[in-house]
Amino acid sequence: MNLRATVLSGFFATSLLLAGCAQDSAPEAPRDVPAARTAPPEAANNNNAFEPLELSTEYHQIRVSRIAGGLEHPWAVAFLPDGGFLVTERPGRLNRISADGMRTRIGGVPDVAVAGQGGLLDVVLHPDYADNGWIYMTYSSGDDGETTTKVARARIDGDQLVDLEELFSQDRLSQPGRHYGSRIVWRADGTMLVSIGDRGAEPPRAQDPADHAGTVLRLNADGSVPDDNPFIGRDDVLPEVFSYGHRNIQGMVVDPATDKVWATEHGPRGGDELNLVVAGNNYGWPSAGLGRDYRTEEQYGDARSLPGKIDPVYEFLPTLAPSGLALLTTDTFPRWQGNLLAGGLRAERIRRLVIENDIVVHDEELITGKVGRIRDVREGPDGAIYVLTDHEDGGLYRIDRVN
């Protein structure tokens, strides 16, 4: 198939195109799990006198304010019914943060293997959280030699996780440190989709659907396999697999109006993608891709596009290093309603994507360089936009429209 849309920013240099996503592809220095996982329950919000910013965009004047600082590489934010938040920190900590930024450490988190990009990663609430109290987490597990991606669920009782259940463990251990994927989203039918990265060391694994690496999985809420998964009955495909041929999806969202699944995915050196994830599809990595080899800067894989493999909807140029993806469903930002917001790590910005007939027709950059590396972007229940930044002193930010 032909690439449906590639928009070039008129001012970028070739060197930026080739700069790539190394920050979420090359191994980072190993990090140890902090010994004091049950530190004092209450902590100051550590806002460090952050002054709210008012910024102009194409359609809205916006205000960026910080709810909480002092978070060590926060990875995901979930919204609690009382107006507070759950925030993971990659070194293995789960925090409950109040609306005014006060932080409480939640104990009983599963043991995580913290190395490079691994650790405690996504956190989401069950769609019926008010009735059942389940929260879901992804994390890396193993040792200094090999790790795997896992999914677990638990409930919160006071300041402690209880009823902890491991629901899924990747079928094969790998060298630690890279490409865990790990975003969770819920579909209208009550099943969850989980992204699993290609794990970095052996990219061709993503073309083998008998391997969990480089896939999106579809699971029931209890971790069992739905009987209508696309490859059920095939001996050469693992039953959990929903789609495959992915490199490392770290942004994923479901459109509640259509049940369409959008995902942002890291390329190698360049080639960051927006994909529309459909059951049974092969998205090509590493046989087909838009990026370059880190060492040779030659075409990665056999071609930019191949028969039988799905091309991306959009290529982010210059490089974005995408992580976190939100769909704006309310009229809080009326001119942005229905748009996607894609966070960027290396690019330190949000890309606002206007979609028409599953094609990106406009792309605006927001908050460029104002708060740092964007790890997560979410639309809150109140219609505001919430952002996590990936730093040793990361923060939880809120974006409002200025009337």
- The closest alpha carbon to 241, from 272, 265, 276, 277, belongs to 277
Per-residue pLDDT, averaged over 18-33, amounts to 36
* In contact, 315 and 272? CB cutoff 8 Å: yes
Using CA atoms, how far residue 55 sits from 59, 63, 76, 275, in Å, is 11, 6, 25, 29
Percent of the chain with pLDDT over 70: 88
Query: How far is residue 358 CA from its own chain's centroid?
Result: 20
pLDDT in tens, 168-188: 999 998 988 899 999 999 999
Q: Is position 1 within any domain? A: no
Q: Is position 7 within any domain? A: no
The domain total for the chain is: 1
Per-residue pLDDT, averaged over 369-388, amounts to 98
**Does position 402 have pLDDT exceeding 90, yes or no?**
yes
List residues with catalytic annotation.
Answer: 179
Residue 75 gets the label, from left (phi > 0), alpha (psi -120 to 50) or beta, of: alpha
- The closest alpha carbon to 199, from 234, 220, 173, belongs to 173
Q: What is the per-residue pLDDT for 26?
A: 38
Query: DSSP labels for 208-268?
Result: -TTSSTTEEEEE-TTSPPPTT-TTTT-TTS-TTEEEE--S-EEEEEE-TTT--EEEEE--S
Q: Partners of 316 in the beta sheet?
A: none
Beta strands, E only, 272-321: 273-277, 314-315
Q: Is position 244 within any domain? A: yes
Q: Is position 139 within any domain? A: yes
pTM for the whole thing? 0.89
* In contact, 314 and 273? CB cutoff 8 Å: yes
Per-residue pLDDT, averaged over 317-331, amounts to 96
Query: DSSP labels for 108-162?
Result: -PPP---BTT-SEEEEEE-TTHHHH--EEEEEEEE-SS-EEEEEEEEEEETTEEE
Q: Is position 203 within any domain? A: yes
Better pLDDT: 227 or 46? 227
**Does position 338 have pLDDT exceeding 70, yes or no?**
yes
Supply 74's token pair.
């926060």
Average pLDDT taken over every residue of the chain: 89
Give the dihedral sign, CA 38/40/42/47.
negative
- The closest alpha carbon to 285, from 298, 268, 264, belongs to 268
Among 34-43, 72-81, 108-117, 315-324, the least confident range:
34-43
Q: What is the per-residue pLDDT for 290?
A: 84
* In contact, 165 and 158? CB cutoff 8 Å: no
pLDDT in tens, 204-225: 999 999 999 999 999 999 999 9
Per-residue pLDDT, averaged over 117-137, amounts to 97
Q: Residue 321: helix, strand or coil by DSSP? A: coil
Q: Is position 5 within any domain? A: no
Q: Domain range spanning residue 273?
A: 14-401
Among 33-42, 107-116, 233-242, the least confident range:
33-42
Q: Is position 345 within any domain? A: yes
Q: What is the per-residue pLDDT for 45?
A: 52
CATH code, domain with 384? 2.120.10.30
